[in-house]
Amino acid sequence: MKSCVAAPGDGKMVFMESKRLLFVADFPSVQQGKDFSQTLVQIPPSPHCEVCVIVPVRNEAQMLAATLTALIHQVDLQGQLLDPRRYEIILLANNCSDESAAIARSFAQEHPDIALHVVEKTLPPGQAYIGRVRQILMDEAYRRLCSLGRTRGVIASTDGDSQVSPTWIAANLYEINCGADAVGGRILVERTGRADLHPYARACYLREVGYRYLITELETYLDPDPDDRFPRHYQHYGASLASRGDKRL
């Protein structure tokens, strides 16, 4: 089990007041020659939608409800409930042999105020890998934001076995509104998960985390990145990743 936390810098970063959390909306109708004939979601997005959250899922039945629960309880940087019209969730259950898709559909029915679109798809073996699935989802999110005429809509990605922090959407919006093209969050193992580890495995995990932080600090002295300055975390994974739609990865 893993838990995602959107921490665009590191734990020391202070998120600013919500008045700085401005709408980031306006996507070019120019679609740059992309072929969007393979539309995943037929229901049009809300005109208020600023963020498409994409969730690739493959056999995540055990964790999926917790993943979706975290996504529907999003708040702004002052702790106020985020308007659910400002984001939608597109979940692609690919090549599943469990009840993942059924769980997601049931969750959507139980929470009709949240725009949760569940798509089930069986990909050929050569395409049934996470990079391809995430690409399919990002293309769909981009198409939907384009349909609203937005240039700075945001595509935010997490995984079906991850639980994002309550301010995950707001924190990513804030950083992108401040000029970032992409934001990578840290991934933390939950306390309960760490407690279940064998003491030696837990010690190895903690040592690895400390080692990676030290390597990251050393890199900033040898070859500093002006766009990702220290203090920062060393993780940039698809389980907590956001980008402007027109700068999608």
Q: Where are the beta strands (DSSP E) in 122-230?
A: 154-157, 162-163, 182-184, 186-188
Residues 61-76: tens digit of each pLDDT: 999 999 999 999 999 9
- Please tell me the distance from the alpha carbon of residue 230 to that of residue 12, in angstroms, as a whole number: 10
Residues 177-225: tens digit of each pLDDT: 988 888 988 888 887 888 888 999 989 988 988 898 898 888 888 888 8
Residues of the chain with pLDDT under 70: 1-38, 151, 247-249
Contact 209, 187 (CB under 8 A): no
Contact 75, 82 (CB under 8 A): yes
**Looking at residue 247, what is its pLDDT?**
62
**Looking at residue 194, what is its pLDDT?**
82
Q: Tokens for 69?
A: 């629960």
Q: Which residues contact 234 (CB under 8 A, 6 or more apart)?
A: 212, 213, 215, 216
